[in-house]
Amino acid sequence: GAAPEGGDPSSEDPWQDDEYFGSYGTLRLHLEMLSDRSRTEAYRQVVASNSASLKNKVVMDLGCGTGIISLFCAQLAQPSAVYAVEASSMVEHTRQLVKQNGCEEVVTVLQGRAEELELPEQVDILVSEWMGNCLLFEFMVESVLLARDRWLRDGGVMWPSSAALTLVPCQADSYYSEKMAFWERPYGLDFTPLQPLAQQEFFTKPKFSHLIDPEDCLSVPCDVIRLNMYTVQVRDLEEVKGEFQFSVAKPGVFHGFTAWFTVQFESLETGGATVELNTGPNSDPTHWKQTLFMLDTPTPVNAGDSIHGNVILRRNPVWRRHMTVTLHWKINSSTDNCQVGTKHFPMWR
Amino acid sequence: GAAPEGGDPSSEDPWQDDEYFGSYGTLRLHLEMLSDRSRTEAYRQVVASNSASLKNKVVMDLGCGTGIISLFCAQLAQPSAVYAVEASSMVEHTRQLVKQNGCEEVVTVLQGRAEELELPEQVDILVSEWMGNCLLFEFMVESVLLARDRWLRDGGVMWPSSAALTLVPCQADSYYSEKMAFWERPYGLDFTPLQPLAQQEFFTKPKFSHLIDPEDCLSVPCDVIRLNMYTVQVRDLEEVKGEFQFSVAKPGVFHGFTAWFTVQFESLETGGATVELNTGPNSDPTHWKQTLFMLDTPTPVNAGDSIHGNVILRRNPVWRRHMTVTLHWKINSSTDNCQVGTKHFPMWR
Ligand SMILES: [Ca+2]
Ligand SMILES: [Ca+2]
């Protein structure tokens, strides 16, 4: 969700933990995540398809929320212990749910932040649902990496094991019409003086919760960033950069870029099948939906045009859960001269 | 939208004007209102169908926002003057739009609250779009009544001229399933310990932005409150009460009550047609949609059962834009004994 604007960092927590963990102390977000069947069934599938190998293993479920993943582990497999860790006040209810489902022998619920975590033993598997909009937003991944470095045994397994951010140049005609073209002639009047305000208000930040129609993708999508969850370091998150090279597949209007992520869960067995959770437009919609980055000016493009450039995710040096996404692009078309552009999208500060 | 919870009234403005007028200083709400064709076309229709009678009249458009109603007056009729009054910072843009559309000779844009308003003359017509959820929420109507008492000439016309709040007992099966039944067996687990929390979080306050399917109305709706915009007094708004008597038309599950409003605009000509804006389920959806009041326990009902009782809208004595809606009901069925219930719904404090 949107964080409040402005504010004085000296008097505020740059992690905004009261706000962040506070929102996870109410049911609304947990219901949204649990109701997301693609997401929740992916984790269930990971546990179910690895149930034999999970026997006698020690699992940590970081940011467990209602404890659903820990309960899957306890009910579908026979781990020796599951440590379900949650920083928000939801944890009281998590304990109740573990009891209600008869899992209290296996699942230990611990309240606290990853940074302050104390466990009686190292773990074989660190599972977590840490992904945010554009994969990294809210940077819960930092807590996962800290927990990994401290508590995952050598040779232990990370779930997810890898992650990718995918980008595609796209049309967004109805969004553009609704927010920008609308002012041209509403009810026979000329409201164009409001267009600069509309651009500022609707196109400066990315649009979360966009569901892109696959028909609006102007090209085959491209993975621009990949994270190996075993090797990525917290310091690497300060600036993450990727390149793209798209070939426009059909004539259309280039309104912006749409981004989404995929994560992969490797099997505990050598040669076992990898489970993937894909939040893109060709999979069932998830609660993350996709993220739309609107450019300031729509550009007509033709089949065969190339759109290349790069994307940089720069973590906000003050507000540690926020970042700015910078897009640089160059359009090479057979007919026109090339066009270049750069736009910075704060998410959210 | 939802206002922040809690807070210390002694250090805060009980009118929350910074928040209230601040939200109208951005485009988002204005776009939502302008994009609502039923709403905006109703006002346009009122002006268009009265254009002959508006000649040489003086109009006040209170809370004019982008100035759309004033622009309709200037473009579709020939009033001698239109005073467009707006308290939010949108007013700078309103001035620009008036110029852009060549209406600056007729439309004078004034920044300020209704209470502090100074006009050079009394007005013949006071037009305003002051309606909120459940008609009264946010109590902008108070500003309209203050402006009426001070600036409307004897015999002047109020647009809207009257208003009604309508109620119907209803089913809300999918909302109930999504928020409450969900916890019964998600992914094969027992999450019922979260149901009291869900009730507290999702059913304590009314649900705004509910679109009720006419099929889910268990009875013919009933107007429970009517306001005559010429005679209603600010003090009358402290407690507004209405009675209802519904006869259940078909078997179903009584989940709660749905409320919406209608407003009427009388013609300036004797015998001229009244324009009505109806925000109910049998009209095109508006940006207000409908408001759902969920009871704590669903009750099966049968055709012929009677549901009677009353509704009280009590304005919050501290937070002047808020109110509590209290519903008392009694179900008389041919088969069971009668059931009675009472529930208080804060909107929002
Ligand atoms: Ca998440
Ligand atoms: Ca309104």
Given a cut of 70, whether residue B2 has pLDDT beyond it is no
pTM, 2 dp = 0.93
β-partners of residue A244 are A309
β-partners of residue A128 are A62
pLDDT average, residue stretch A13-30: 87
**pLDDT, position B20:** 84
Token readout for A271 is: 């040669």
End-to-end CA distance of chain B: 13
The answer to whether A223 and A168 are in contact (CB under 8 A) is: no
A-chain residues within 8 Å CB-CB of B97?
A: 189-191, 193-194
pLDDT average, residue stretch A315-341: 92
**pLDDT, position A51:** 98
Catalytic-labelled residue, pool B86, B138, B142, B266: B138
pLDDT above 90 as % of chain A:
90
Q: Which ligand is the nearest neighbour of the Cα of B29?
A: 2
pLDDT average, residue stretch A306-313: 98
The answer to whether A288 and A133 are in contact (CB under 8 A) is: yes
**pLDDT band per the 50, 70, 90 thresholds, residue B3:** very low
* pLDDT tens profile B201-230: 999 999 999 999 999 999 999 999 999 999
DSSP string, A252-288: EEEEEEEEEEEEEE--SSTTPPPEEEE-STTS---TT
**pLDDT band per the 50, 70, 90 thresholds, residue B40:** very high
Q: Is B287 on the interface with A (CB under 8 A)?
A: no
pLDDT average, residue stretch B264-279: 97
**pLDDT, position A327:** 98
Q: Report the distance separating Cα A181 and Cα A195, nearest Å.
A: 8
**pLDDT, position A5:** 38
Q: What b/e string do you get for A183-199 counting C-beta neighbours within 10 Å, with b at 16 or more? A: beebeebebebbeeebe
User: Residue B152 Cα, ligand 2 centroid: separation in angstroms?
Assistant: 21
Residues 6 or more apart in contact with residue A285 via CB below 8 angstroms:
A38, A211
**pLDDT, position B4:** 36
pLDDT above 90 as % of chain B:
90
* pLDDT tens profile A70-115: 999 999 999 999 999 999 999 999 999 999 999 999 999 999 999 8
Catalytic-labelled residue, pool B5, B86, B129, B266: B129
The strand pair at B252-265 and B290-301 is best described as: antiparallel
The answer to whether A77 and A51 are in contact (CB under 8 A) is: yes
Three-class DSSP category at B312: strand
Q: Report the distance separating Cα B295 and Cα B203, nearest Å.
A: 7
Q: Report the distance separating Cα A227 and Cα A132, nearest Å.
A: 14
B41, B101, B182: residue with CB nearest A35: B182
Helix B68-76 and helix B37-49: axis angle, to 10°? 30
pLDDT average, residue stretch B104-112: 97
Contact B189 A71 (CB under 8 A): yes
pLDDT above 70 as % of chain B:
97
* pLDDT tens profile A254-288: 999 999 999 999 999 999 999 999 999 999 999 99
- Residue among A19, A23, A27 with most chain B CBs within 10 A, to mutate: A27
pLDDT average, residue stretch B296-323: 96
A-chain residues within 8 Å CB-CB of B71?
A: 189
**pLDDT band per the 50, 70, 90 thresholds, residue A6:** very low
A-chain residues within 8 Å CB-CB of B192?
A: 100
Which residues of A are known to be catalytic? 129, 138
**pLDDT, position B21:** 84
pLDDT average, residue stretch A321-345: 92
User: Residue A83 Cα, ligand 1 centroid: separation in angstroms?
Assistant: 19
**pLDDT, position A10:** 54
**pLDDT, position B176:** 98
Q: Is A289 on the interface with B (CB under 8 A)?
A: no
**pLDDT, position A22:** 82
B27, B40, B194: residue with CB nearest A27: B194
**pLDDT, position B11:** 63
Residues 6 or more apart in contact with residue B239 via CB below 8 angstroms:
B312, B313, B314, B315
Report the mean per-residue pLDDT for chain B.
94
CB atoms within 10 A of CB B178: 14
pLDDT average, residue stretch B161-190: 98
Contact A193 B100 (CB under 8 A): yes
Q: Name the residue with tokens 């326990």.
A: B297
A-chain residues within 8 Å CB-CB of B72?
A: 187
* pLDDT tens profile A285-300: 999 999 999 999 999 9
Residues 6 or more apart in contact with residue A94 via CB below 8 angstroms:
A64, A65, A66, A67, A84, A86, A109
Name the CA radius of gyration of chain A, rounded.
Answer: 22
The strand pair at A152-159 and A162-170 is best described as: unpaired
- Residue among B31, B176, B200 with most chain A CBs within 10 A, to mutate: B31
Contact B188 A75 (CB under 8 A): yes
Q: Is A26 on the interface with B (CB under 8 A)?
A: yes
pLDDT above 70 as % of chain A:
97
Which one is predicted more confidently, A9 or B130? B130
Type of residue at A185 = R
Q: Report the distance separating Cα B326 and Cα B346, nearest Å.
A: 9
User: Residue B323 Cα, ligand 2 centroid: separation in angstroms?
Assistant: 16
**pLDDT, position B5:** 38
Q: What ipTM is given for this predicted complex?
A: 0.93
**pLDDT band per the 50, 70, 90 thresholds, residue B6:** very low
Given a cut of 90, whether residue A11 has pLDDT beyond it is no
Asked about B138 being catalytic, the answer comes back as yes
Contact A26 B201 (CB under 8 A): yes
Within 110-129 of A, beta carbons closer than 8 Å to B belong to none
**pLDDT band per the 50, 70, 90 thresholds, residue B14:** confident
A-chain residues within 8 Å CB-CB of B178?
A: 35
Lowest average pLDDT, out of A181-185, A317-321, B174-178, goes to A317-321
Contact A193 B97 (CB under 8 A): yes
**pLDDT band per the 50, 70, 90 thresholds, residue A12:** confident
Instruction: Work out the minimum CA distance from A8 to partner chain B, whole angstroms.
Output: 19
Within 50-109 of A, beta carbons closer than 8 Å to B belong to 66, 68, 71-72, 75, 93, 96-97, 100-101
Q: Is B321 on the interface with A (CB under 8 A)?
A: no
Contact B190 A27 (CB under 8 A): no
User: Residue A130 Cα, ligand 1 centroid: separation in angstroms?
Assistant: 5
Q: Which ligand is the nearest neighbour of the Cα of A287?
A: 1
* pLDDT tens profile B42-75: 999 999 999 999 999 999 999 999 999 999 999 9
Instruction: Work out the minimum CA distance from B302 to partner chain A, whole angstroms.
Output: 32
Contact A100 B202 (CB under 8 A): no
Q: Which ligand is the nearest neighbour of the Cα of B64?
A: 2
Residue of A nearest to B67 (CA): A191
Which one is predicted more confidently, B344 or B14? B344
Within 176-205 of B, beta carbons closer than 8 Å to A belong to 178-179, 182, 186-194, 197-198, 201-202
